[in-house]
Structure 1
Amino acid sequence: MAPSQGVPRASLKAVERESSKSGLIPIHERFSSLIHKHEIPRKALHVSIGFLAIHLYRNGTHPSNLITPLTTCLIPIVSADLLRFYSPSFNALYIRVLGSLMRESEVASWNGVIFYLAGTIAVLKFFPKDIATLSIVLLSWCDTAASTFGRLWGRYTPKIRPGKSFAGSFAAFVVGALSAGLFLGWVVPTTADRVGGVAWEGRLNIMGTEVTGGLAVGLMSVMTGLVASVSEVVDAWGLDDNVVIPVLSAVGVWGVLKIFG
């Protein structure tokens, strides 16, 4: 349900009027370059989750041990958003506290963290641990790269669709390939605890020929980069990127391994 459905329009308009005096998010006005233009705090948090995912993978944390606490986290976050939609005063307080991590589009809409958690829970629930972890890393790093380079150079390259440029898509591909190379070429082979399932076995079958070692990692990295790039640019029924990227990335990597594994 969109936040505007079932929510008094007067409440949303009141929020917009109240915020318009100094911008939708005041801290964006005070630190325009750092927070509004480059989104440094938001991107730093985004990127850090990729490192956390790799840390948990190497520590042998089972996906099932993460699903319950992540799902529990949704309750207060969703509740806070519902309260924001009905209470302009609470929304104003929320914005003052967490405004540095928000986009202006989230002032009267759902918090992106909700979709981030939903995408993470979905891949942890339905995919082997290595594919789930890699898809979370792709969400964390590729989405950030696409946003950063898209804002910097997107105006100079062709538009793929509204809000998506070739510059951002290419950045997602490069970072996705490098991330997969790091994860599949080093993290997975050097992690002894395989709890939660491992789909990557270090080899590919290309037209009846078994490829192993660095060549296999290189080919898989390129294909993963393509998967990440497509996942970042696809408009899947208007769903948030934080859901689309990890789920489509996991499906794509799983499909590649099923075909060539």
Structure 2
Amino acid sequence: MDRSPSPLGLIPIHQKWRSFVHRHEVPRKILHTSIAPITLALYLSGIQPSQIHPILLSLLIPIFATDLLRHRSHRFNRFYISCLGALMRESEVDGYNGVVWYLLGAWISLRWFPKDVGVVSVLLLSWCDTAASTFGRLWGRYTPKVRTGKSLAGSLAAMIVGVGTAAMFWGVVAPIWGSPNGFDGGEHAFAFQGTFSLPANVRNMLGWTSEQATISGGLALGIMSVWAGFVASAAEAVDLFSWDDNLTIPVLCGVGLWGFLKTFA
């Protein structure tokens, strides 16, 4: 089905505001992008992922149960759509609401990845996916297709926003507000500690010392940011078993970031 929110006109609010909602998905994008500021606000308040992921799970269970219920009752489904249709695509009328996958993706990221990787994965989902959708709709017709429904314009937008997001979090937010206030120590320590080093077997093969094979400071932050942008762009563009990208983007970003850090940090 067309990834536009209402290609068939099944959702009432999309019929009323068809042209505007069809092109821009404004209510959905507002909800999508609002998750990042909320995530940053929670981080800056000192609340840890271990305090957040149980709440996400407690929200996920009843929301998922409600989705199951609406698929078994046509009347309830129409009522559900009349209330939440502005935030839905038509593919979700007979499928699962994207909020289910969003909560599941955020829960996995904050539950199973290191603190900084989990937080950045949620930020990348919130901002990079929105950027890719927005710029893909605006300019995607002028650039090559990455795959069906995904354009180079959208992928480049996701990468640029991903680079900026990672640089902002690891280069500004965490070192100025997080670490000095003790938010990121002990069991909540970051996976990225500001340095990268080649693996020992590679160092030995090249004949380099540990100092020669290590980088830190702005160069390390730059590499981490570019990698985060690349991972975000790739996660947004890939089709993984046709799973919803609200699930695949944060999980793939988490895997890509953590794998990179486990190898070089």
* TM-score bracket, shorter-length normalisation: 0.7 to 0.9
The equivalent residue for 2:3 is: none
* Matched residue, 1:246: 250
CA displacement, residues 41-82 of structure 1 (integer Å, 9 cap, x when unaligned):
110111110111111122221212112221111222112211
| Deviation sequence 1:89-125 (CA, Å, 0-9, x none) | 1111111111111111111110011111111111111
Q: Deviations over 1:139-193 (max 9, x none)?
A: 0000001111111111211111111111111111111001011011011112121
Q: Does 1:219 align with 2:211?
A: no
Measure the CA separation in 2 of the matches of 1:23 and 1:257.
Answer: 46
Aligned to 1:166: 152
- CA offsets 1:9-51 (integer angstroms, 9 cap, x no match): xxxxxxxxxx99x921111121224322201111011111011
Task: Choose which of 168, 177, 195 in structure 2 pairs with 1:203.
Answer: 195
In structure 2, the residue corresponding to 1:204 is in which secondary structure?
A: strand
Provide structure 1 residue ranges, at least 5 long, that are not aligned to the other structure. Answer: 1-18
Q: CA deviation at 1:253?
A: 0.9
Provide the secondary structure at the position in 2 that maps to 1:41: helix
- 2:141 counterpart letter in structure 1: R
Question: Is 1:49–1:140's contact at 8 Å kept on the other side of the alignment?
Answer: yes
Equivalent-residue separation in structure 2 for 1:197 and 1:97 (angstroms):
41
1:94 aligns with 2:80: yes
2:57, 2:22 → 1: CA distance?
A: 30
Shift of 1:200: 1.5
**Residue number in structure 2 paired with 1:175:** 161
The residue type paired with residue 130 of structure 2 is T
Structure 2 equivalent of residue 58 of structure 1: 44
Cα distance in 2, alignment partners of residues 33 and 54 from structure 1: 33
Matched residues in 2 for 1:202 and 1:189: separation?
A: 10
Q: 1:125 aligns with which of 97, 104, 111?
A: 111
Shift of 1:213: 2.1
Write out aligned runs for 1:222-233 (5 A).
Answer: 222-233=226-237
Query: CA–CA distance in 1 between the matches of 2:166 and 2:193?
Result: 14
Aligned residues: 242
TM-score, structure 1 length as denominator? 0.87
Unmatched segments (≥5 aa) in structure 2: 1-5, 204-211
> Secondary structure of 1:86's partner?
coil
Q: Which residue of 1 aligns with 2:27?
A: 41
Counterpart AA for 1:194: D
